[in-house]
Amino acid sequence: MGDGRSLGDLVVAARDRAFVGRAVERALFRSALDEDPGSSPVLYLQGPGGIGKSTLLRRFALEAREAGRLVVEVDGRTVPATPEDFEQAAGKATGEPGSVLLVDTFEHCQGLEHWLWEHFLPRLPLGAVAVVAGRTAPDPRWVADPGWADLLRVVPLRNLAQDDATAFLRARGVPAGAHQTLVSFTGGNPLALSLAVAVAGRQEADGTPRAADWSPGLDVIATLLPQLVGDPPSQDHRTALEVCAQVDVTSEALLRAMMGERAAELFAWLRAQPFIESTAAGLFPHDVVREVLAADLRWRDPDGFAALRGRMYQHLLGRVRDAPAAQMLQAMQALVYLERSAGHMSGTLVWHPEGVVREMPCAPADESRVVELVREAEGAESAAIARFWLDRQPEAFSVYRSTRTDDIVACSAWLRFSGPEGEDVDPVVAAAWAHVDAGGPLRPGEHLAMARFQVEPQAYQRPSASMNLMQWRVGGEIIRADRLAWSFVVMRDDGFWNGYLERSDMMPTDAVPVVGDHAYRLFAHDWRTQSGMAWTEEKHEAVRDGAAAVTSPARSPQDPQERREHLTLSRPEFDVAVRDALRALWWPSELAANPLSRGRLVTETGRSLHDILLSAIDTVLEARGGEKRHLVITSTYSKAAPTQEAAARRLGMSFSTYRRHLTAAVKHVSEVLWSHERSGTPIEREVSR
């Protein structure tokens, strides 16, 4: 027997359980309901399809009814766009004090906009609240109208924040191991999240587990595309969308290179779309729109997809070569972004690093900070060498300032040599000249260049925003160089960058020069048989040809889902990865790039690498002498970890005692992780922290 409830009650309850986020928007609505001073009785929710406008309006309706208000709901899809029909659907709100009018999909009634603002909304009684939701922003005349200035608030609706998107997935029962992949693909778009969860759920019901490498099937793409972008007016408009989906930002100049004389018209159309954002550099689509458009074109027309990317690459490569020096890094970012999915790039890049740091030439006042950074990361001997080169090539140095604090947090140098210099001071430069002498001395007019002192103490020579800008600086300088004979990249000799640089044809030399306590590896390339420009074109063609064999990364729902193979490391590689992971413990982007994140413990258990590391650290307490070692390792790798010397002072230990405890603790963590990596059994967090 039933309990008096209806199926509708169950639907409402399920929606209530699945609702997450939108704290700001809900606060604005509650403030209007409570008639707080400064609140706006009319809210206009504006956002693209699938962003969650209808879901939020249903939540508003629930809250308004709980507050005892009359709620009048109007759906623009079902109401003819005439004043008479709208009046019949919504008129009740004008006769009830404290009523709440909720108008959804107003884009279907856009022709009524003038009438709505001039004739209908002014008739609502004081104390009433109106919320209008649509894909198109309101006419600027109403926003600027002094009569509406204190009454109307336009609220652009964005994708869910990462924490809210993760909470949504958790509420829908999606395993933690799949969260990052789903949030990454959808960008937090609520509709895309819902579809992805539904498809993953069907696959699980069919006996296929939800994998951490889930990718959107053709059914998801086919459903999302019209919902997100609608029906473009012409094929040129669709092509403009597909261009916009490929690059980081679309300028009118880029569109002109791709589309010809219609560029200005198409750019203006793109700019007006609700799923397109504008920046000083150009336009870009919301993440899920970008991914769906690219996946659809890649599946529907792989040859057209490759041809479009090839034309864009040629244009962007030309921009790197010809752009003013101050715009070179921006041009390099656009070029690299086009190949962002290439395997050797995807794990090492932090996109849009300019939001974290900005590169600037090293001014005379910055030189002491550069020397300090090198000393902190590499030691006193290396700092003295940096001072030597600052005196001789100050223009070669760049500094990286935090956009939050304006402090200099990193530095690098691109040294240029037309002949031997400083070999008696810098063992690294001496090793480079020895390699050049053995492989082919410089000819008249040629020069050698070296990426030296790629230094950020907080994330030393590991993926970070500063490191990305340093890499793009090197790439851009090589592409733009005239008569460059040899280039060298200098890295700490720990193997982390070997694979990445070798795939970029920067090959390790035999020499391993030592400066202070550290050995360094030089990676070299001889450019005399092929310019950097020609080499870059050739590498792009190789990447394109390798990708052409795959018509789409998305599997059809009927295709079997292959379980992702975990990455296998040698024991020395594993130990290096553990140490790097501990240093990146509270830096999610760097931790995601660590090889352990693709190891067996993560891929087969569904747990995050961060959680696995904390579990392994907990086991230090169980070993003999574990309390002190646990204290040392947790203090060293805390969110605000100071230098190791400062950590030792804070713990009241001599530095030698501190280092002994830290070495033992890290060794224990590595042993525990290695044992579980080999067996595939998860680490249980049994110790309460």
Map tokens 């005892």 to a residue: 68
Find residue 564's DSSP bridge partners. Answer: none
Q: Is 628 helix (H, G, I), strand (E, B) or coil?
A: helix
- When pLDDT is cut at 50, 70 and 90, the band that residue 552 belongs to is very low
Among 42-46, 185-189, 267-271, 552-556, where is mean pLDDT lowest?
A: 552-556
Give the separation between CA 260 and CA 282, rounded to whole angstroms: 17
Q: Which two tokens stand for residue 99?
A: 């009523």
Q: Is 192 helix (H, G, I), strand (E, B) or coil?
A: helix
The residue-averaged pLDDT of 336-346 equals 63
Give the separation between CA 113 and CA 49, rounded to whole angstroms: 19
7-156: CATH class? alpha beta
pLDDT for 554: 33
Give the separation between CA 63 and CA 33, rounded to whole angstroms: 9
Could you report the per-residue pLDDT of 362-421, keeping only the tens digit for each?
999 999 999 999 999 999 999 999 999 999 999 999 999 987 788 999 999 999 999 889
**117: which DSSP letter?**
I
Among 101-115, 123-137, 252-266, 348-362, where is mean pLDDT lowest?
A: 348-362
- Domain definitions of the chain by residue range: 7-156, 162-214, 353-529, 571-679
Same fold for the domain at 7-156 and the one at 353-529? no
Map tokens 């707080």 to a residue: 36
pLDDT for 171: 79
pTM for the model = 0.56
Map tokens 């296929």 to a residue: 208
Report whether 457 contacts 342 (CB < 8 A). no
Please report, rounded to a whole number, the percentage of residues in the chain having pLDDT higher than 70: 82
pLDDT for 550: 34
Among 7-16, 343-352, 421-430, 570-579, where is mean pLDDT lowest?
A: 343-352
Map tokens 């020096």 to a residue: 325
Which run of H or of E encompasses 73?
strand 71-75
Residues 6+ apart with CB under 8 A from 225: 292, 293, 296
Residue 674: name the closest of 630, 588, 618, 616 by CA: 616
Among 54-63, 110-119, 334-343, where is mean pLDDT lowest?
A: 334-343
Pick the most confident of 274-283, 362-371, 431-440, 601-610.
Answer: 362-371
At the second CATH level, the architecture of 353-529 is 3-Layer(aba) Sandwich (3.40)
Q: Label residues 387-423 b or e (16+ Cβ within 10 Å = b).
A: bebbeebbebbbbbbeeeeeebbbbbbbbebeebbbe
Q: Which two tokens stand for residue 11?
A: 């639907």
The residue-averaged pLDDT of 433-455 equals 88
Distances (CA, A) of 323 to 1, 133, 304, 313, 479: 75, 43, 28, 15, 12
- When pLDDT is cut at 50, 70 and 90, the band that residue 556 belongs to is very low
The residue-averaged pLDDT of 563-573 equals 61
The residue-averaged pLDDT of 2-7 equals 63
pLDDT for 476: 92
pLDDT for 638: 64
Could you report the per-residue pLDDT of 507-521, keeping only the tens digit for each?
888 889 999 989 999
Please report, rounded to a whole number, the percentage of residues in the chain having pLDDT higher than 90: 25
pLDDT for 198: 65
Q: Indicate the average pLDDT of the chain.
A: 80
More confident residue, 386 or 199: 386
pLDDT for 453: 93
Report whether 183 contacts 200 (CB < 8 A). no
Report whether 512 contacts 519 (CB < 8 A). yes
Give the separation between CA 683 and CA 666, rounded to whole angstroms: 16
pLDDT for 553: 35
More confident residue, 148 or 529: 148
- When pLDDT is cut at 50, 70 and 90, the band that residue 220 belongs to is low
Strands (E) across 125-195 are located at 129-134, 152-156
More confident residue, 388 or 621: 388
Among 43-47, 251-255, 493-497, 537-541, where is mean pLDDT lowest?
A: 537-541
